[in-house]
Amino acid sequence: MYIVSLAQADPALAARVGTQWQQLVMSGATAGAISLFTASPAACNAELGATSNVKSVTSFVAIFGDSAQADRAWGSGVFGFVPPAPGEILPGAVRGTDTGLGLSSWTYDRSNVRLASWHKSVFVALVVVSNLDAAAFKAATAAIDARLN
């Protein structure tokens, strides 16, 4: 439904998101769900993390046939967000257990955009928060992580 809605506002972005979803399906995703909460309806039609001044929270979770498929898909990137290489130092990026989300996880934290991507069991999760504080970001990731079992 998200991609269909997005197609009405931005066909090129919808095509790119559709291709990214198909890559996850080809990696073994059997289902996925995305939720967007925004302070402006216009942010629903923007690229994830690209809203410059609108408060928004987006969460995405996909389920895979097995944990190995989920881990490989996470390592290849979720909707264009690819984990930094182990040992690679990027300003604002943390990879692994220091994120609080497990070994196969990474976070990016800057003042207006925060993101977390992680693999847990047969699930891959992505949270993108724009223009909200670190406490809101941590609460969103903790709430989603607790439901992945």
- Position 51 scores a pLDDT of 64
What average pLDDT does range 70-98 have in this prediction?
Answer: 92
Under the banding of pLDDT at 50, 70 and 90, the label for residue 77 is: very high
- Position 1 scores a pLDDT of 64
Is residue 145 a contact partner of residue 101, using CB atoms and an 8 Å limit?
Answer: yes
Between residues 73 and 53, which one has the greater pLDDT? Answer: 73
Task: Identify the weakest region by mean pLDDT among 45-49, 52-56, 114-118.
Answer: 45-49
What the block records as the tokens of 36 is 């967007």
